[in-house]
Structure 1
Amino acid sequence: MATLPNRKRIWGWMFFDWAQQPYATLGLTFIFAPYFAAVATDALVAQGTDLDTAKVGAQTLWSSAQTIGGLVIAFTAPFLGAWADASGRKRPWILLFSLIAILCAGLLWNLTPDGASLMLMLAAFWVGYVCSEIAFNLNNAFLPDLGTAEEVGRISGTATAFGYWGGVLSLFVMLLFFAENETGTTLIKLAPAFGLDPENREGTRFVGPFIAIWFAVFLIPFILWSRDNPAVKRNRPGFNQVLSELWVSICRVGKKPSTRAFLLSSLFYRDALTALYAYGGIYARQVLDWQTIQIGVFGIIAAIAAAVISWIGGIADQRLGPKPVIATCIWVLIAVGSVIVGMSRVHVFGIPLPEGSPIPDILFYICGAAIGGAGGALYSASRSLMVRHTDPEHPGEAFGLFAFVGKATAFLAPALITVFGILTQSNQLAFLPVIFLLLLGLFLLRWVQPDGETSA
């Protein structure tokens, strides 16, 4: 890590986190998702659906699309990882999927308040998000080349923190200059920049082009400084060859008890974490009746907590190892899930609140900080623990499987949220499956060796 070229490679690798982060921060969680939920709810009400049912219907629509997106990521990531390993080239694939993601983000401008293009924009978002996640997973496969097993925890934590600071900055810019509240002004009481029309929600709709511009500009350091490993022989593998090697890899993992336990554990807790990210903003909108600006402030708190705690988590990872960091983060998220299930605008765990009580708002701000902080440190430590279970000759394949198990049941949390939402007609009780998934992941973690198979 001491040489300048390697520092540049690390910075190039970290800048991908910075470039891609607004897709999650602005798109999946704090700006586009709540706006989509509001537009979808209004569209359903206009069709004659009562308001409460429309809110659940909007959440169900989003969760169904997320289920499909998760399945696509799950079943393409291992193959693409194996292909990248076999060909010796990851950068071209990363750039291709990044380009598709950028183009799809730009299209999100077309989600107008009347919901005329609702389904098309839902598809555009999730196609773009899927492509950005595939590119991100391939970028993860560079991590084992950037440092020793002891160093990658700190590198991963620093990169995650750096990415979240990008999310903080992008969210600040959107809230200060673009996203309008119900009065048509931004957080600092300005009209949306560039003469954007607040009546048509053009400030909020600018989130799509903003993500696209951000992604394209900050992808440049990655393009300049990241390189495929020159020691890996480049070739053009056949489709059958890649499938054969992927199957061998899956069988090999099946014979490694610690790796198997880790992948199964992360399958469940990462699925639950993704659900918390995806529905945090929607929950704030549908249950607490927050507006765009308030959700954005919530997002800033969560992103700052994520940046700071991810960095601290990286230091803890280097000193204690990633497994204790993961276990601690899961317990924090279980506590958050319990608060979400037990809280509404009118009560907290069954205790009635006076009208207009600020307690639900305060609690959810705290939950936002916990989700951001624990979630950032959890992913960073998981990425570090995966390195300890990775065959150095097949990093793309390993992280492809890592992505696969992170998405293989990606349909599970959204589907369970959908089912519980329909059965209970409650946005809060719909989150019960998230707690169950976290507990299952924590239980399976007990069989994971902290230093990989070598410590088994």
Structure 2
Amino acid sequence: MNAVIEGAVPELQPPHETGGKEPASNIAQGAWVLYEWANQTYFSLITIFLFPPFFTQVLAANPIEGQAQWGYVQAAAGISIALWSPLLGAMADAAGARKPWIVVTTLICAAGCFALWFAVPGSPLLPVMIALVVAAIGMEFTIIFANAMLPTIASDRRMGLLSGIGIGVGQLAAIVALVLVLILLQLPGEVEASFIPAEPVFGLSKEAHETDRIIGPISGLWFLVFMLPLLILVPDQKSRGIGRAQAAREGLTRLVATLRSVRHFRNVALYLFSRMLFYDGMTAIFVFGGILAAGIFGWGAMEMAVYGIWVTLFAAFGAFVGGWVDLRIGSKRTLVWSLLGVIATFLL
């Protein structure tokens, strides 16, 4: 872990490029990067590649209903996040410190993940859907508060680079998790090799779908463990020492004032609107990509894990390169060239 922390962000902050801010140490920046290592396993295992096919093809009455119910889960989580995020963000700004919020939202996400162990085929689906919504809300709120720490540890010019490194490291974490799931849970009993156990680890049963249900606890435990460096090593803003009620009042006042002032800042309004459309499109791809791949090609967990490894490898490459390009040509130009590349690829 020390090698990752100290080597992930080599000399990111020369003193003359801090933009007037005192940068955090490389160790602190590396600890922030590890927060991406913590969260991407949740997205790869639960949101995209492994749990969605299990949900739609095994837990649901039939794949068609399962796809609709998976959509309801994502819609419920998305609406909740959209309604509460602005207020919670404003409350966090009013209170000052972010880490107390991160601790709470991390535990909420982990609780939802651990609850997925009880997703037994044939049991009521509603508790599983609630657990998925809880995990998604906890994860997204954690990301909001953790991302809010980035401007306090990196200069304006270097934030894009650090963010790109973080996403790339997160994709590598997803690859590691997918490989471990493949070797320890899916390949045993299917492929004979010296590095593959004869049976799934911990005596888990494929027939009882325990190798699928364990995905939730694995993601929750991974998230808890690798959030610790951020909570321990990354400096936080000073707490203003106000209570939750006062933070809520001040946060609501700030939020209303911000919304009223948006009309005077056309670029901000356009950015927020375009960001909403962009994020909706990305979410649709991530949420239903794994389901469609499994449904169309008839892939099981083993094939989906292999597919996820390949997809994530390319995502990691893009993240590392994107952070480097952002440093040299700026965020907007990087985004434009990325979108042109995506469009050109689809036209091939």
Interval of TM-score (by shorter of Structure 1 and Structure 2)? 0.7 to 0.9
Determine the structure 1 residue equivalent to 2:7: none
Gaps in structure 1 of 5+ consecutive residues: 45-53, 340-456
Query: Can you list the C-alpha shifts for 1:363-399, whole angstroms capped at 9, x where unaligned?
Result: xxxxxxxxxxxxxxxxxxxxxxxxxxxxxxxxxxxxx
Equivalent residues of 1:89, 1:234 under 8 A apart: no
Code of the residue aligned with 1:59 in structure 2: it is: Q
Determine the structure 2 residue equivalent to 1:302: 311
Q: Does 1:28 align with 2:37?
A: no
Code of the residue aligned with 2:98 in structure 1: it is: K
Query: Can you list the C-alpha shifts for 1:222-276, whole angstroms capped at 9, x where unaligned?
Result: 121123223x744333433221111111222332122211111111011110110
Determine the structure 1 residue equivalent to 2:106: 98
Distance 1:282 1:116, change over 3 A: same
Determine the structure 2 residue equivalent to 1:68: 76
Determine the structure 1 residue equivalent to 2:226: 218
Q: Does 1:37 align with 2:56?
A: yes
Query: Can you list the C-alpha shifts for 1:2-46, whole angstroms capped at 9, x where unaligned?
Result: 589521221221111111111101000111111111114xx42xx
The count of corresponding residues between Structure 1 and Structure 2 is 325
| Within-5 A mapping of 1:310-349 | 310-334=319-343
| Within-5 A mapping of 1:404-423 | none
Equivalent residues of 1:19, 1:215 under 8 A apart: yes
Aligned-partner SS, 2:186: coil
Q: Does 1:161 align with 2:147?
A: no
Q: Does 1:135 align with 2:142?
A: yes
Normalised by the length of structure 1, the TM-score is 0.67
Query: Can you list the C-alpha shifts for 1:53-89, whole angstroms capped at 9, x where unaligned?
Result: x422211110111001001111111111111110102
TM-aligned CA deviation for residue 315 of structure 1: 0.7
> Which residue among 31, 55, 67 is the counterpart of 2:63?
55
Normalised by the length of structure 2, the TM-score is 0.87
Query: Can you list the C-alpha shifts for 1:135-163, whole angstroms capped at 9, x where unaligned?
Result: 11111101112222211110110111111
> Which residue among 37, 41, 56 is the counterpart of 1:18?
37
Equivalent residues of 1:186, 1:192 under 8 A apart: no
Task: Report percent identity of matched pairs.
Answer: 28
Q: Does 1:82 align with 2:101?
A: no
Distance 1:23 1:212, change over 3 A: same
Aligned residues: CA RMSD = 2.3
Distance 1:338 1:120, change over 3 A: farther
TM-aligned CA deviation for residue 277 of structure 1: 0.6
Equivalent residues of 2:98, 2:237 under 8 A apart: no
Aligned-partner SS, 1:124: helix
Q: Does 1:116 align with 2:123?
A: yes
TM-aligned CA deviation for residue 118 of structure 1: 2.2
Determine the structure 2 residue equivalent to 1:364: none
Equivalent residues of 1:157, 1:315 under 8 A apart: yes
TM-aligned CA deviation for residue 93 of structure 1: 0.6
Determine the structure 2 residue equivalent to 1:241: 250
2-side partners of 1:26 and 1:312: how far apart? 24
1-side partners of 2:79 and 2:133: how far apart? 11
Equivalent residues of 2:95, 2:242 under 8 A apart: yes
Distance 1:35 1:264, change over 3 A: same
TM-aligned CA deviation for residue 309 of structure 1: 0.9
1-side partners of 2:313 and 2:263: how far apart? 39
Code of the residue aligned with 1:72 in structure 2: it is: S
Code of the residue aligned with 2:47 in structure 1: it is: L
| Within-5 A mapping of 1:140-155 | 140-155=147-162
Determine the structure 2 residue equivalent to 1:418: none
Equivalent residues of 2:94, 2:247 under 8 A apart: no
2-side partners of 1:68 and 1:258: how far apart? 30
Equivalent residues of 1:26, 1:171 under 8 A apart: yes
